[in-house]
Amino acid sequence: MNTEQIENKVIEIISAVLKTPVDSESSHETLKAWDSLKHVEIVFALEDEFDVMFEEEVLSELNSVKKISQKLME
């Protein structure tokens, strides 16, 4: 997957979990629905979709579409 495909999939997953429109600039600060419980749901959905396991230390950093996409590209 290239960067654009990853970002689009991240947007799709976050939008589905939050049941709200999401774009590439979205973050927990711009979306009221993105609370701590939904953050956990987003992380689980991302881990399932991309077959990854995020380190516990980085979970709090995964707070925007851009940051999540960057982490998935590593």
The ranges assigned to domains in the chain are 3-73
Q: Is the separation of the CB atoms in 29 and 37 below 8 Å?
A: no
- Could you read off the pLDDT of 34-54 as tens digits, one per residue? 999 999 999 999 999 999 999
Q: What is the pTM of this model?
A: 0.95
Q: What is the pLDDT of residue 6?
A: 98
Start-to-end CA distance of the chain, whole Å, equals 12
- At 61, list the tokens: 């950093």
**In the chain, what percentage of residues exceed pLDDT 90?**
99
Q: What is the pLDDT of residue 43?
A: 98
* Helix axes 3-18 and 65-73, enclosed angle (nearest 10): 130
> Does CATH number 1.10.1200.10 belong to domain 3-73?
yes
- At 26, list the tokens: 């979205």
